[in-house]
Structure 1
Amino acid sequence: MNFGFDTKRISLSSTAANAATRSFDWVYGLEDMGFTGWEIVCEGNQALSKNNMPDVLKIIETTDLTLTIHLPFSDLNLASLNDPIWNETIRQMKDYIEMASPFARLVVVHPGHLSPLGMQLPDMAWQRNIEGLRELCDHAAQYNMTIGVENMVNMHFIFGKHAEEMLGMIESVDRDNLGLTFDVGHANTNKAVDIFIEKCIDKIVHVHLHDNNGIRDDHFPAGKGKINWTKVIDRLSRLDVQFVLEARSIDDGKASIDFLRSRVIK
């Protein structure tokens, strides 16, 4: 089925806000800019907490935004072979899943990465990553939530750079509520946008959009790098998923959605 791509399914990620900013007031301007959703990235002061949950609930009550959640990644590692670190990673991620369960149905998570010990024992680190994803999927299933594990940027110590690797990860976890969060910008740093779409289209449950020149994870606004957005959007248009613009600022987010409206979306 071809759903046809339009701006009715585009969110802005809270990466656009300063992580030191405590206020969510900026979210109230998203609909005026044309966004229909907000992805809460649980990093810094933009992370969910008991203190700011009333503010989030007010946004839900007073806007029509669709909310998704991105689990934290700083200082955490699903592939850690250090048991206390791995256990803390799982604990924090489960807490955020539970906190978001009243309003979010989709949860984004980064796969684990190789620590210095993991580089010596990569097979063990891979298995620990699989175990961690299973734990999260089983926890999320209690709340009817889907986990979207994200393909990653071109860095040698990170799992999830290649399409076959992501398919193997999803197959190994073997949970019905696990799919792929397809990050177009990350795939472009691996020269793998086309192959990800070709091989993984049926596993995609969520999409991240940002641009770069094919080398670094620049998070440029759409149209400021080398990604062929007309081709990408055309190939992804049949997906009934939320598309999230990951921008470095709110202005960059607006520039991206304006570009997609004027130059890409038919």
Structure 2
Amino acid sequence: MRLGYSAVTAGIIDVAQSFEVAARYGLDIELSSDMAEMFPRLPGPRELAEMGRAAGVGFTLHLPFVDLNLASLIEPSWRTSLGRMLRALEYGEAAGARVGVLHTGQVPLRHPVLLEMAFERLEQALAEMAAPPIPVAVENLAIDDQDLLRTPEELVRVVEEAGAGFGFTLDLPHAFVQGGSGQIKAYLEAMQASKAPLLHLHLHDNHGDWDAHLPVGAGSLPYADFSAALAGFEGTAALEVTGGEEGVRASLKAIETFWGACQSSS
């Protein structure tokens, strides 16, 4: 498993500092498409690629989700969301990102007609993204009443229908908020049994009540229970933890305790 961290979630906004932290602990950086859009003075993707090569730091990319909804029933909003997503994939390719993490979207009311239309919108968006320039790892959410996909089965169906180039992000703490350890196990088993690959993990912690993004080990998620199930995982992972560099360091120590040496040099 190749491990990285989200500098944005950690609150490390300075670009040079984010690279220093990554290099210090042998981590990749999970870039943020939203930050790249909101702060155009940040280094561009090709400059980031050069900085990464110089520092020995690789990248994953969190695709945009701020003010974005690939399941939107409002045509202009849907079109804008799709356009932003396609541009973000180009950004990820230019930066050399190993994978792009995707949020699927929301529906305002769980009315059968609206749900059917929202699924059609999402499936159309993923079809427009066919053969993406970097692998796309669709993330489990279901932590907000408006999140469209609510079950492992729905997530698997959507990703399998999207076809080549698509796989999964398992966000263990999201599943923990949704339904505790049993829900983590349900998502993990569904993803591992799917024709689509499990590509990426999001690692942070909470107490099962809300998506707190605590450092790993600072909440109640029983990471040790999933050591065996993820022992052979060869994809990427990102620490999405608060607390600055100390939160990253504490998370690495906890993961070492729970899972042993999990990071590869690949």
Q: TM-score, normalized by length of structure 1?
A: 0.85
Query: Which deviations, in whole Å up to 9, do the C-alpha atoms of 1:221-251 show, x marking residues without a partner?
Result: 1111111111223311211101111012322
Partner of 2:247: 252
Partner of 2:176: 188
Cα shift at 1:81:
1.1
Query: Structure 2: how far apart are the matches of 1:150 and 1:58?
Result: 28
Q: Which residue of 62, 80, 86 corresponds with 1:94? A: 86
Please state whether the residue corresponding to 2:101 is helix, strand or coil: strand
Cα shift at 1:171:
2.6
Matched, 1:85 2:73: no
Query: Structure 2: how far apart are the matches of 1:78 and 1:254?
Result: 35
Query: Which deviations, in whole Å up to 9, do the C-alpha atoms of 1:80-129 show, x marking residues without a partner?
Result: 11111111111111111112213123111101101359886110011101
Which runs of 5 or more residues in structure 2 are unaligned? 262-266
Query: Structure 1: how far apart are the matches of 2:42 and 2:259?
Result: 40
Matched residue type, 2:160: E
Matched, 1:265 2:254: no
Q: TM-score, normalized by length of structure 2?
A: 0.85
Matched, 1:166 2:155: yes
Query: Structure 2: how far apart are the matches of 1:45 and 1:198?
Result: 34
Cα shift at 1:259:
1.6
Contact 1:210 1:247 (C-alpha < 8 Å) held by counterparts: yes
The 1:164–1:263 alpha-carbon spacing in structure 2 relative to 1, beyond 3 Å, is closer
Query: Structure 1: how far apart are the matches of 2:55 and 2:148?
Result: 37
Cα shift at 1:180:
0.7
Cα shift at 1:159:
2.2
Cα shift at 1:76:
0.8
Contact 1:151 1:187 (C-alpha < 8 Å) held by counterparts: yes
Partner of 1:106: 99
Please state whether the residue corresponding to 1:235 is helix, strand or coil: coil
Partner of 2:56: 64
Matched residue type, 2:174: H
The 1:65–1:47 alpha-carbon spacing in structure 2 relative to 1, beyond 3 Å, is farther
Query: Which deviations, in whole Å up to 9, do the C-alpha atoms of 1:65-87 show, x marking residues without a partner?
Result: 22111111111100011111111
- Equivalenced residue count is 252
Cα shift at 1:37:
0.8
Q: How does 1:46-61 map to 2 (within 5 A)?
A: 49=40, 52-53=43-44, 55-61=47-53
Cα shift at 1:33:
4.1
Cα shift at 1:27:
2.1
Please state whether the residue corresponding to 2:97 is helix, strand or coil: coil
Matched residue type, 1:36: L
- Percent identity over paired residues: 24
Matched residue type, 1:254: R
Query: Structure 1: how far apart are the matches of 2:223 and 2:4?
Result: 17
The 1:25–1:66 alpha-carbon spacing in structure 2 relative to 1, beyond 3 Å, is same
The 1:50–1:99 alpha-carbon spacing in structure 2 relative to 1, beyond 3 Å, is farther
Partner of 1:127: 120
Query: Structure 1: how far apart are the matches of 2:10 and 2:240?
Result: 10
Q: Which residue of 19, 29, 45 corresponds with 2:20? A: 29
Matched, 1:115 2:103: no
Please state whether the residue corresponding to 1:236 is helix, strand or coil: coil
Query: Structure 2: how far apart are the matches of 1:48 and 1:59?
Result: 18
The 1:96–1:50 alpha-carbon spacing in structure 2 relative to 1, beyond 3 Å, is farther
Q: Which residue of 7, 10, 30 corresponds with 2:3? A: 10
Which runs of 5 or more residues in structure 1 are unaligned? none
Cα shift at 1:55:
4.4
Query: Structure 2: how far apart are the matches of 1:234 and 1:129?
Result: 34
Partner of 2:264: none
Matched residue type, 1:198: E
Query: Structure 2: how far apart are the matches of 1:151 and 1:25?
Result: 31
